[in-house]
Structure 1
Amino acid sequence: MKFIVILATCLGLSFAGPQPFSLVDDINDFLNLIDLDQIDALLKDNLQDNGDIIEIATYMKGDEWAGLVAYVKEHPGWIKLKDWLISKDIAVDDIINEVHDYIQNAELGTASGDRDVNTFLTDLEALIPVDDLLTLAVTKLVTSPDFQDLFNRVKSEDTHGLVDDVLSLDEVKADIARLTEMGVDVQGILETVYGLLEWGAPPKGVKKSDRSLADDFQEFVDLLPLDDIKAIADEHFQTDGAFSAVVLYLQGTDWTEIVDTFGALPAVQDLIQFLNNAGLPVDDILDWIDNVIKGAVPGYPYEGGSLRSFLDEVEAILSLSDFLYLLSDKILNSPDFQNFYVEISSEEAHTLVEEVRALDEVQRLPQRLIDMGVKVEDALDIVYELFGWGEPEKF
Structure 2
Amino acid sequence: MKLLLPVISFALVAVAVVQSTHSTSLQDDLDEFVELLPMDKITTVAIHYFLTDREVRAAVQYLRGPEFATIWDQVFSLQEVRDILNYLEQEGVHAYQALNDLAKLLGVKPIKPVKLEDSLSVSTRGLNDLIEDVVALIPTDELLALYEKKMSSSDQFKAFYNMLNSTDFHKFEELFNSSPELQSMFRKLREYGVDVDRFLDLIKGFFDWGY
Rate the CA distance shift 1:245–1:213 in 2: closer, same or farther, 3 A. Answer: same
Q: Select 2:186's aligned residue among 362, 366, 369.
A: 366
Q: Select 1:228's aligned residue among 30, 36, 41.
A: 41
Indicate if the aligned counterparts of 2:189 and 2:196 stay in contact, CA closer than 8 A: yes
Rate the CA distance shift 1:375–1:346 in 2: closer, same or farther, 3 A. Answer: farther
Match of 2:26 in 1: 213
Q: Does 1:353 align with 2:172?
A: yes
Please give the per-residue CA displacement for 1:317-368, whole angstroms capped at 9, x wherever unaligned: 22111122222222333222222222222351x1121122021211222232
Indicate if the aligned counterparts of 2:36 and 2:143 stay in contact, CA closer than 8 A: yes
| 1:163-202 alignment, distance < 5 Å | none
Indicate if the aligned counterparts of 2:29 and 2:150 stay in contact, CA closer than 8 A: yes
Give distance in 2, aligned partners of 1:214 and 1:246: 32
Counterpart residue type for residue 287 of structure 1: N
Give distance in 2, aligned partners of 1:233 and 1:257: 24
TM-score normalised over the length of structure 2: 0.70
Match of 2:114 in 1: none
Rate the CA distance shift 1:233–1:374 in 2: closer, same or farther, 3 A. Answer: same
Match of 1:260 in 2: 73
Q: CA deviation at 1:277?
A: 0.5
| 1:9-48 alignment, distance < 5 Å | none
TM-score normalised over the length of structure 1: 0.40
| 1:1-395 alignment, distance < 5 Å | 212-294=25-107, 306-346=126-166, 348=168, 350-358=169-177, 359-383=179-203, 389-390=207-208, 393=211
Rate the CA distance shift 1:249–1:378 in 2: closer, same or farther, 3 A. Answer: same
Please give the per-residue CA displacement for 1:21-54, whole angstroms capped at 9, x wherever unaligned: xxxxxxxxxxxxxxxxxxxxxxxxxxxxxxxxxx
Alignment coverage as a number of residue pairs: 172
SS of the residue 1:234 aligns to: helix
Give distance in 2, aligned partners of 1:283 and 1:372: 31
Q: CA deviation at 1:239?
A: 1.2
Rate the CA distance shift 1:346–1:375 in 2: closer, same or farther, 3 A. Answer: farther
Structure 1, unmatched stretches of 5+, are 1-209, 295-303
Larger radius of gyration: 1
Give distance in 1, aligned partners of 2:170 and 2:135: 30
Indicate if the aligned counterparts of 1:381 and 1:391 stay in contact, CA closer than 8 A: no
Indicate if the aligned counterparts of 1:381 and 1:392 stay in contact, CA closer than 8 A: no
Give distance in 2, aligned partners of 1:392 and 1:241: 37
Higher relative contact order (CA 8 A, sep 6+): 2
